[in-house]
């Protein structure tokens, strides 16, 4: 057994059919965890779960579709995860929304509410649904995928940045509430990562050059470069870390 061994653990990862969520699910499975693949489309979830089972053995992954904007969907996700694996040891709140690029003065109420509801409220719903069993076992790890957008201002991503700053405070607050039960709650704050979700920020060569010009590593990251932090937080290696935000951004926020 190593510090990063996840054998015997069950991890539920939202938004895990592509990008960062998929990389986290694959790496947790590689380290021995059972994983629940979840996103809005059931057929895509099934394809991803099959791929993981083909690589790491049948029974490693199950697919449970859920729309994070629906409290009923999220409750079903937790109920079906418990039915499939009998427990949830690690919760990764990765799914998020960003339907608007531009200054805050131009955002519609519906767009603003969607960002706040999906990126903050839904995370709190999901965590509240999972925590009771973690309290009972006196053990659990909750990981919220935030963003370096929550650490600085933006002229085009203001609402998203506000939601991601709130996620960091959500982690701090819940870490204080649940620490006495040996439950850890942390955030990962990626910089610019090559995912479909962030495509608008890297697909244009001029935008990409501007985004990486002052980053010490002079490049954007890959989903796999975020997944290792999630394995750390979900395994024994991260047992004494709680209420923190791990910044993984190629140095973008220091320069």
* Active site residue ranges: 160
- Residue whose tokens read 């040996």: 182
What is the Cα–Cα distance from 110 to 126, expressed in whole angstroms?
22
- Residue whose tokens read 């608007």: 100
What is the Cα–Cα distance from 152 to 14, expressed in whole angstroms?
25
Cα 239 to Cα 9, 33, 210: the distances in Å are 14, 16, 38
C-beta separation of 178 from 136 below 8 A: no
* Helix, strand or coil, per DSSP, at residue 107: coil
C-beta separation of 118 from 97 below 8 A: yes
Nearest to 136 by CA among 187, 95, 182: 182
Residue 225, Cβ density class (10 Å: 0-12 exposed, 13-18 middle, ≥19 buried): middle
Cα 152 to Cα 165, 167, 187, 247: the distances in Å are 9, 14, 16, 13
């Amino acid at each position: 057994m190593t510090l990063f061994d996840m054998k015997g653990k069950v991890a539920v990862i939202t938004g895990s059919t592509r990008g960062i969520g998929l990389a986290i699910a694959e790496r947790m499975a590689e380290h021995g965890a059972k994983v629940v693949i979840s996103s809005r489309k059931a057929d895509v979830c099934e394809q991803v779960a099959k791929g993981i089972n083909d690589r790491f053995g049948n029974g490693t992954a199950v697919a449970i579709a859920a729309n994070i904007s629906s409290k009923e969907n999220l409750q079903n996700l937790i109920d079906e995860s418990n039915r499939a694996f009998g427990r949830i040891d690690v919760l990764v709140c990765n799914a998020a929304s960003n339907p608007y690029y531009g200054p805050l003065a131009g955002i519609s109420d519906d767009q603003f509410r969607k960002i706040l509801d999906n990126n903050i409220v839904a995370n709190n719903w999901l965590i509240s649904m999972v925590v009771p069993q973690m309290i009972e076992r006196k053990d659990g790890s909750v990981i919220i995928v935030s963003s370096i957008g929550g650490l600085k201002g933006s002229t085009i991503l203001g609402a998203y940045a506000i939601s991601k700053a709130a996620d960091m405070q959500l982690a701090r607050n819940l870490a204080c509430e649940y620490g006495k039960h040996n439950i850890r709650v942390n955030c990962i704050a990626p910089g610019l990562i090559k995912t479909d979700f962030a495509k608008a920020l890297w697909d244009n060569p001029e935008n990409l050059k501007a985004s990486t010009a002052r980053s010490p590593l002079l490049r954007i990251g890959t989903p796999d470069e975020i997944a290792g932090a999630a394995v750390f937080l979900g395994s024994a290696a991260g047992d004494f870390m709680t209420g923190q935000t791990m910044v993984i951004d190629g140095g973008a926020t220091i320069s």
